């Protein structure tokens, strides 16, 4: 539905509900009686759809321009990019009590380069390095996929991107304890009242 970037018209509808939170229908019997839910409020507006791939490519190119020079070799550029990512990244958010990945509602839909510290793990970090390598014409192999998942070889190499030209290994996966979140200190929200979009008239 939202595959084309740009200004997209939408209609936001709110259904009438009773004191128990159930939808109110225009005919007896509700949905089973072929009645239709009553729309209490409808608002016409638009949302601005972003081309996230295009924006990420632009951010990557700006980083290349920022940290590398034309006098550098391709290998030197990749080393510099890797060092930059290592010093500006933390691990994907994990819960202190379970160690599982967690997502915060405030972060949803926000690309990683918009944060002060980028969040990466052993799956996403070699993928980004491989993409950087392609942009500077220095092809890398993402070793996450080279070995069978869970094997000793995979454990040792899955966070690495390796140069196809000279065999140099690159990796910037942050320590797993660099972004641990105490979920008891996170404000809880009522998702039924949360705005997951910004609508403009």
Q: Tokens at residue 34, please? A: 């072929």
Q: Which residue has the higher pLDDT, 117 or 64?
A: 64
Give the domain ranges of the chain: 6-49, 52-185
Q: Which residue has the higher pLDDT, 165 or 31?
A: 165
Report the percent of the chain where pLDDT is more than 90. Answer: 43
Range of lowest pLDDT (66-75, 160-169, 187-196): 187-196
Q: Tokens at residue 190, please? A: 């009522």
The CA-CA-CA angle for residues 27, 33, 35, to 5°, reads 40
At 3 the pLDDT is: 64
At 201 the pLDDT is: 43
Q: Which whole-number Å values give the CA distances from 197 to 13, 17, 55, 106, 134, in the listed order?
A: 13, 22, 19, 11, 34
Cβ-based burial of 70 (10 A; exposed 0-12, middle 13-18, buried ≥19)? exposed
CA distance 119 to 88: 9
Q: What is the mean pLDDT of residues 154-174?
A: 96
Q: What is the mean pLDDT of residues 108-130?
A: 83
CA distance 68 to 72: 7
Q: Which residue has the higher pLDDT, 175 or 186?
A: 175
At 129 the pLDDT is: 98
At 141 the pLDDT is: 98
**Report for 51-55, 113-117, 179-183, 197-201: range of highest mean pLDDT:** 51-55
What is the average pLDDT value for the chain, to the nearest integer? 82
Report the percent of the chain where pLDDT is more than 70. Answer: 74
At 200 the pLDDT is: 47
Q: Which residue has the higher pLDDT, 19 or 126?
A: 126
Phi, psi angles (nearest 5°) of residue 199:
-105, 130
């Amino acid at each position: 539905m939202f595959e084309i970037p740009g200004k997209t018209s939408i209609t936001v509808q709110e259904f009438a509900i009773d004191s128990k939170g159930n939808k109110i229908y225009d005919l007896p019997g509700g949905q089973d009686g072929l009645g239709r839910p009553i729309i209490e409020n409808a608002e016409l507006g638009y949302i601005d759809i972003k081309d996230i791939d295009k924006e990420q490519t632009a951010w990557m190119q700006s980083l290349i321009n920022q940290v590398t020079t034309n006098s550098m070799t391709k290998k030197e550029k990749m080393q510099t990019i890797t060092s930059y990512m290592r010093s500006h990244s933390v691990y994907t958010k994990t819960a202190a009590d379970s160690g599982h990945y967690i997502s915060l509602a405030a972060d949803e839909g926000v690309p990683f380069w918009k944060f002060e510290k980028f969040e990466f793990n052993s799956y996403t970090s070699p993928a980004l390095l491989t993409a950087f390598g392609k942009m500077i014409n220095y092809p890398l192999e993402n070793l996450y996929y080279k070995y069978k998942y869970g094997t000793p070889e995979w454990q040792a190499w899955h966070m690495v991107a390796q140069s196809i030209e000279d065999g140099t290994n690159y990796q910037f996966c942050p320590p797993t304890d660099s972004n641990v979140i105490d979920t008891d200190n996170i404000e809880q929200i009522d998702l039924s009242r949360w705005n997951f979009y910004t609508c403009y008239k």
